Amino acid sequence: MATTNEDLKTIASQQYQYGWVTDVESEEAPKGLTEDTIRWISSKKNEPQFMLDWRLKAFRHWGKLVGKSESPTWANISHPPIDYQNIIYYSAPKPKKKLDSLDEVDPELLSAYEKLGIPLDEQKRLAGVAVDAIFDSVSIATTFQEELSKHGIIFCSFSDALQNYPELIKKYLGSVVPYTDNFYACLNAAVFSDGSFCYVPKGVRCPLELTTYFRINSANTGQFERTLIIADEGSYVSYLEGCSAPIRDENQLHAAVVELITLDNAEIKYSTIQNWYPGDQNGKGGIYNFVTKRGKCQGKDSKISWTQVETGSAITWKYPSVILLGDNSIGEFYSVALTKGYQQADTGTKMIHIGKNTKSKIISKGISSGHGNNTYRGLVRIMPKADDAHNFTQCDSLLIGSSCGAHTAPYVEVQNKSAHLEHEAFTSKVDEDKLFYCNQRGMSGEEAQSLIINGFCKEVFRELPFEFAVEATRLMDLNLEGSVG
Amino acid sequence: MIQVEQTNIENYLSAFKIFEQAESSTSSNWMINLRRNAIAQFENSGFPTARRGNEEWKYTDVSPIAKGSFKILHNKSHNANQLPDTKYQQLEGSACHNLVFVDGFLDENLTNISSLPKEVLVCNLSDAVSIEPTFTQRHLAKYADFLHHPFTALNTAFMAQGAFIWVPPNISIDKPLQVLFISSSSNSNLITNPRILALTGENSKFTLIENHSAVNENSYLANVVSEIVLGTNSNVQYYRIQQESKKAFHISTTHVELGKGSRFFSMNLDLGGEIVRNNLNVVTEGEDSSCSVNGIYITTASQHIDNKVVINHNSSYTTSRELYKGILSGKSKAIFHGSIVVREGLRQIDALQIDKNLLLSDQAQANTKPAFWIYSDDVKCGHGAASGQIDRNAIFYLTSRGISESDARNLLVKGFVQEVIESIPNKFYKDKMDNMVNASLLDVLGI
């Protein structure tokens, strides 16, 4: 372990360490949601007509869903009803003037990201990481664009992409997550403000890790961003996503959509460290993280891999999925979800096997402590034409303390006899024999616990890019500090 | 969310009026009230036909049942002498104490319970209400919940005849008690609502066989509810054999309560039926109790077999084991939905759940949902599920050793379910089950 126990104690006493607010003047949409709000957002961003039309279609559909009160209720989570009229749907730091380079970004914002450990200054960059920084509703800076453009890679904010590459957006937007998909995805389609866009051309292996960092700053706002990544034939990209928010007493809604598309022989590796504000010890405040993430292996021999470390948010409702359409395509899902305090997580994945000889692998590790409730919910569906499909699923849960809950609700649907499926799950507390073994060798209870839990998560952590793996291990120690009972 | 299905509810309501009248002379007040509560509940909920948000019946569409117009038989109509040698004899009538119901009515000629120990009370449920009124009132319909389960409500509304079993403390019954439900009517579209209430006292032991079979290949609905309550340190083995007509609908609910230190073993064999749904709920009410629940389903043609098994761990130091296996062919569809629930604040819970399916045809479909809902930390819970076809390498291995391909295939199919048969603790039943599975495989697959 890189950090010593003493360090951990100091950090733990600070509780959530990203809970500060940046003092910047911001421009906000009027509170509430009507067609005018959507027109306002769209015109603010100077969007092409097709975008506004799509948003309005989505909004009308959402109106119908609200009318039939069809917000999803099947997940194992509980929260008071959300007042969608009491949310500010757009909030952006006021630009002093039009930005031409990074040097002109408000220093307040730069220092905010500095504080978060996200380097926007290319001089002090982390080697090989390009960052798109999203602050409330807008992207404030994207680094390394020049370097990337040498390879023909497009990596920019969604707004820029709409101005510069409308035909790509038009072709792929909503092709994986249509606006009719679900309640929150539909809301996102109507009001999304910004996000990241990435296109990797044929045969290019992206030389940098791409990162989007999301920061909620303003009060009463919801964050609705949308990410679209397209990996053209034979390309590869590794994409990381991080996030945080200030400590506030009221709950804030974050409803994002991520769409990934891989064509023949392409690969996308998508990693998330989700560390939104989880609420205080008594479950007050925190982010509602209702996210739709889905990838489509459209081409043959393509691959999409999701890795997520979920430690934040009051409520997580998230099922990164893969549609295995192309023959021989591969879908992977690696997840560690930690709930403590009064956090609730209902998360998992869907693997839809459509093409022949498709493979999927699911490794999910849930850790519950305090009064947290952690549910793995997953679906593996083998369609009739998916000959020789393979799936391996392992969803394990660890319980720490007697007031938490760990739940597993997997669905397995097989419609082809040649499918080969294995599913394993195990739930238990930290094994006392293992703790004893460690104690006997001179480790304290806390060190032993940390060692065992990191071992439990190792299968997932090793899928993370290096910097993230260190971050994830540290985050896990920090979050579990003091939970040895 | 359960949608109210209007189509045929009226039929059941009017049938209930006639039924209530016919039963009025033999029913006590509490029974009348119980039935009225149940029919009101059913009227309110209707059949669980909703397809959206209906998690409980996600994979099983009961609208063919809801749309069917099933008739309730108000009087005994069959003639025992006309009953041909039915499949029920496979379990050797003479080896068991037999309680036989034909089309829902007790058949005195076929019933033979005279050699039971005299302390044991086994009788028709309608007689138990008068022989042991307070005892029956205390237990009947107190375990199987009819407030949230429309089929249980329907059964409770129309319950009249059935098996009542009381095994007093320290009594052990040597031969198994077989309760046979035979559908014999040449009229199709009958509904029967068979019911079993079985209770055991401290340190008692017995084996219950619940056998459903048919004389004709008719379409009918058997809507069964069984309540089994195990007293302290008692031991019950429960075999459930479902060999209804291939056109029949079979819906069953078995609710088992485990007292302190009790042991429960069950084996569920599903061979017949067009649409079948078995709900098995086991609750560990007392500490140190344990259960082992097992099942085999062999499906073919357009059969649809749905097993829902819920194990509620309500006490500390309890253990549960589940092992279900299915062999699917034709266009059949099988569902296994297992739930393990561990209540808050318990110690040392050990639960394991396994479901495996073997698919023999391209159109067969297997859906599995093995779920955990765990609110205590001192647990060891595991589940495993697997699905696949016959291993080509295994076939190759056997054929390379001179076994013909068809023999190799048969060996592997049989070997697949053998694990479940091996879990049967008693050799006699193990052999019987083995024979029945063999016969069914021969029948279904020509193996």
For A247-286, how does the pLDDT look when each residue is reduced to its tens digit (9 = 90+)?
A: 778 888 999 999 999 999 999 999 998 888 888 878 888 8
pLDDT, average across residues B10-38: 89
Q: Which chain A positions have a beta carbon within 8 Å of B341's beta carbon?
A: none
Q: Which of residues 216-255 of A touch B (CB under 8 A)?
A: none
Q: Do B359 and A419 touch (CB under 8 A)?
A: yes
Does position B84 have pLDDT exceeding 50, yes or no?
yes
Q: In this structure, which amino acid lies at residue B423?
A: S
Residues with Cβ within 8 Å of residue B150, at least 6 apart in sequence: B2, B41, B42, B45, B46, B47, B48
**Confidence class of residue A14 from pLDDT cuts 50, 70 and 90?**
very low
Q: Which chain B positions have a beta carbon within 8 Å of A73's beta carbon?
A: 53
Kindly report which listed range (A110-119, A422-431, B235-244) carries the lowest average pLDDT score: A110-119
Q: Which chain B positions have a beta carbon within 8 Å of A405's beta carbon?
A: 373-375
pLDDT, average across residues A340-346: 91
Selection from B227, B135, B141 nearest residue B179 by Cα:
B227
Residue B6: the pLDDT is 44
pLDDT, average across residues A202-220: 85
Q: Do A417 and B374 touch (CB under 8 A)?
A: no
Beta-ladder partners of B182: B102, B213
Query: CB contact, 8 Å: A437 with chain B?
Result: no
Q: How many other C-beta atoms are found inside a 10 Å radius of the C-beta of residue A113?
A: 21
d(CA A396, CA A408): 9
Does position A112 have pLDDT exceeding 60, yes or no?
yes
Count the alpha carbons within 13 Å of A124 in the hemisphere toward its beta carbon: 9
Q: Give the distance from residue B381's alpha carbon to the nearest chain A alpha carbon, in angstroms.
A: 5
Does position A11 have pLDDT exceeding 70, yes or no?
no
Residue A472: the pLDDT is 78
Cβ–Cβ under 8 Å, residues B213 and B157: no
Mark out chain B residues that contact chain A at CB-CB < 8 A.
Answer: 53, 55, 344-345, 357, 359-389
Q: How many other C-beta atoms are found inside a 10 Å radius of the C-beta of residue B217?
A: 12
Residue A179: the pLDDT is 92
Does position A95 have pLDDT exceeding 80, yes or no?
no
pLDDT, average across residues A213-242: 88
Q: Which of B53, B361, B387 sits opposite A421 (nearest CB)?
A: B387
Q: Do A417 and B371 touch (CB under 8 A)?
A: no
Q: Which of B364, B367, B386 sits opposite A423 (nearest CB)?
A: B386
Q: Do B372 and A417 touch (CB under 8 A)?
A: no
For CA atoms B19, B24, B25, B26, give the dihedral sign.
Answer: positive
Cβ–Cβ under 8 Å, residues B324 and A377: no
Q: Which of B357, B377, B385 sits opposite A399 (nearest CB)?
A: B377
d(CA B387, CA B410): 18
Residue of B nearest to A375 (CA): B373
Q: Which of B372, B409, B445 is the best residue to mutate to test the A interface, defined by the most A CB atoms within 10 Å of its own CB?
A: B372
Residue A484: the pLDDT is 52
Q: Do B345 and A416 touch (CB under 8 A)?
A: no
Q: Which of A70, A402, A411, A427 is the best residue to mutate to test the B interface, defined by the most B CB atoms within 10 Å of its own CB?
A: A427
SS3 content of chain A, % helix, strand, coil (to 5): 25, 35, 40
Cβ–Cβ under 8 Å, residues B307 and B273: no
For A458-480, how does the pLDDT look when each residue is reduced to its tens digit (9 = 90+)?
A: 888 888 887 777 777 777 777 77
Which pair of tokens denotes residue B22?
Answer: 């016919």
Residue of B nearest to A415 (CA): B365
Query: CB contact, 8 Å: A406 with chain B?
Result: yes
Q: Which of A369, A414, A434, A483 is the best residue to mutate to test the B interface, defined by the most B CB atoms within 10 Å of its own CB?
A: A414
Residue A121: the pLDDT is 60
Q: Do A406 and B372 touch (CB under 8 A)?
A: yes
Compute and round to an integer the Cα radius of gyration of chain B: 21
Domain boundaries, chain B: 66-389
For B296-306, how does the pLDDT look when each residue is reduced to its tens digit (9 = 90+)?
A: 999 999 999 99
Q: Which chain B positions have a beta carbon within 8 Å of A417's beta carbon?
A: 359-362, 364, 389
Q: Do A416 and B362 touch (CB under 8 A)?
A: yes
Kindly report which listed range (A275-279, A292-296, B140-144, B359-363) carries the lowest average pLDDT score: A275-279
Q: Give the distance from residue A380's alpha carbon to the nearest chain B alpha carbon, in angstroms.
A: 10
Does position A410 have pLDDT exceeding 60, yes or no?
yes
Cβ–Cβ under 8 Å, residues B80 and B110: yes
Does position A123 have pLDDT exceeding 70, yes or no?
no
Q: Do B367 and A413 touch (CB under 8 A)?
A: yes
Query: CB contact, 8 Å: A425 with chain B?
Result: yes
Does position A54 have pLDDT exceeding 70, yes or no?
yes
Beta-ladder partners of A399: A368, A429
Q: Which chain A positions have a beta carbon within 8 Å of B383's beta carbon?
A: 408, 423-425
Answer with the residue of higher pLDDT: A333 or B445: A333
Compute and round to an integer the Cα radius of gyration of chain A: 22
Residue of B nearest to A73 (CA): B53
Q: Which chain A positions have a beta carbon within 8 Å of B350's beta carbon?
A: none
Residue of B nearest to A424 (CA): B384
Does position A346 have pLDDT exceeding 60, yes or no?
yes
Kindly report which listed range (A287-296, B43-52, B162-171) carries the lowest average pLDDT score: B43-52
Q: Which helix (H) or strand (E) is B381 found in, with range?
A: strand B379-388
Answer with the residue of higher pLDDT: A32 or A415: A415
Kindly report which listed range (A341-345, A356-360, A370-374, B20-24) carries the lowest average pLDDT score: B20-24
Selection from B7, B24, B26 nearest residue B16 by Cα:
B24
pTM for the model stands at 0.88
Residue of A nearest to B358 (CA): A417
Residue B322: the pLDDT is 95
Residue A6: the pLDDT is 47
Answer with the residue of higher pLDDT: B94 or A56: A56
Residues with Cβ within 8 Å of residue B195, at least 6 apart in sequence: B125, B155, B159, B161, B162, B163, B224, B225, B226
Q: In this structure, which amino acid lies at residue A95?
A: P
Residue B382: the pLDDT is 92
Does position B80 have pLDDT exceeding 60, yes or no?
no
Answer with the residue of higher pLDDT: A119 or B403: B403
Residues with Cβ within 8 Å of residue A132, at least 6 apart in sequence: A139, A141, A142, A143, A155, A156, A157, A196, A210, A211, A212, A213
Q: What phi, psi does A354 have (nearest 5°)?
A: -120, -45
Average pLDDT, chain A: 85
**Confidence class of residue A299 from pLDDT cuts 50, 70 and 90?**
very high
% of chain A beyond a pLDDT of 70: 89
Cα end-to-end span (Å), chain A: 21
d(CA A212, CA A239): 8
Q: Do B372 and A402 touch (CB under 8 A)?
A: no
Residue of B nearest to A379 (CA): B369
Residue A407: the pLDDT is 93
Q: Give the distance from residue B329's alpha carbon to the nearest chain A alpha carbon, in angstroms.
A: 10
Average pLDDT, chain B: 90
Helix extents (H) in B244-299: none
Q: Give the distance from residue B42's alpha carbon to the nearest chain A alpha carbon, in angstroms.
A: 24
**Confidence class of residue A104 from pLDDT cuts 50, 70 and 90?**
low
Does position A102 have pLDDT exceeding 60, yes or no?
no
A313: left (phi over 0), alpha (psi -120 to 50) or beta: left
Q: Which chain A positions have a beta carbon within 8 Å of B330's beta carbon?
A: none
For CA atoms A450, A452, A453, A459, give the dihedral sign.
Answer: positive
Residue A13: the pLDDT is 38
% of chain B beyond a pLDDT of 70: 94
Does position B90 have pLDDT exceeding 70, yes or no?
no
Planar angle of CA A368, A371, A376, nearest 5 degrees: 40
Residue B334: the pLDDT is 96
ipTM: 0.84
Residue A444: the pLDDT is 87
Residue of B nearest to A407 (CA): B373
Does position B230 have pLDDT exceeding 90, yes or no?
yes
Q: Which of A416, A417, A420 sits opposite B360 (nearest CB)?
A: A417
Exposure string for B361-388, b = 16+ CB within 10 A, e = fewer: eebbbbbbbbbbbbbbbbbebbbbbbbb
Kindly report which listed range (A85-99, A100-114, B56-70, B289-303) carries the lowest average pLDDT score: A100-114
Query: CB contact, 8 Å: A402 with chain B?
Result: yes
Burial of B113 (0-12, 13-18, 19+ CB in 10 A): middle
Q: Which chain A positions have a beta carbon within 8 Å of B374's beta carbon?
A: 397, 399, 405-407, 427
Q: Do A410 and B362 touch (CB under 8 A)?
A: no
Residue A3: the pLDDT is 39
Q: Do B381 and A427 touch (CB under 8 A)?
A: yes
**A480 to A10, A369, A399, B254, B427: CA distances (angstroms):** 14, 8, 12, 43, 52
Q: Give the distance from residue B268's alpha carbon to the nearest chain A alpha carbon, in angstroms.
A: 22
Q: Do A419 and B388 touch (CB under 8 A)?
A: yes
Q: Give the distance from residue B64's alpha carbon to the nearest chain A alpha carbon, in angstroms.
A: 22
Beta strands in A100-215 (DSSP E): 129-135, 138-142, 154-157, 196-200, 209-215
Residue of A nearest to B380 (CA): A428
Query: CB contact, 8 Å: A72 with chain B?
Result: no
Answer with the residue of higher pLDDT: A199 or A276: A199
Residue A8: the pLDDT is 37
**Confidence class of residue A2 from pLDDT cuts 50, 70 and 90?**
very low
Query: CB contact, 8 Å: A168 with chain B?
Result: no
Does position B67 have pLDDT exceeding 50, yes or no?
yes
Q: Give the distance from residue B350's alpha carbon to the nearest chain A alpha carbon, in angstroms.
A: 9
Long-range contacts of A446-455 (CB under 8 A, 24+ apart): A446/A5, A446/A481, A446/A484, A447/A1, A447/A5, A449/A400, A449/A480, A449/A483, A449/A484, A450/A1, A450/A476, A450/A477, A450/A480, A451/A1, A453/A367, A453/A398, A453/A480, A454/A1
Exposure string for A227-237, b = 16+ CB within 10 A, e = fewer: bbbbbbbbbbb
Does position A55 have pLDDT exceeding 60, yes or no?
yes
pLDDT, average across residues B379-399: 91
Query: CB contact, 8 Å: A385 with chain B?
Result: no
pLDDT, average across residues A301-314: 93
Size of interface A-B (CB pairs under 8 A): 114
For B258-304, how does the pLDDT look when each residue is reduced to its tens digit (9 = 90+)?
A: 999 999 999 999 999 999 999 999 999 999 999 999 999 999 999 99
Beta-ladder partners of A94: none
Kindly report which listed range (A79-93, B134-148, B332-346, B388-402) carries the lowest average pLDDT score: A79-93
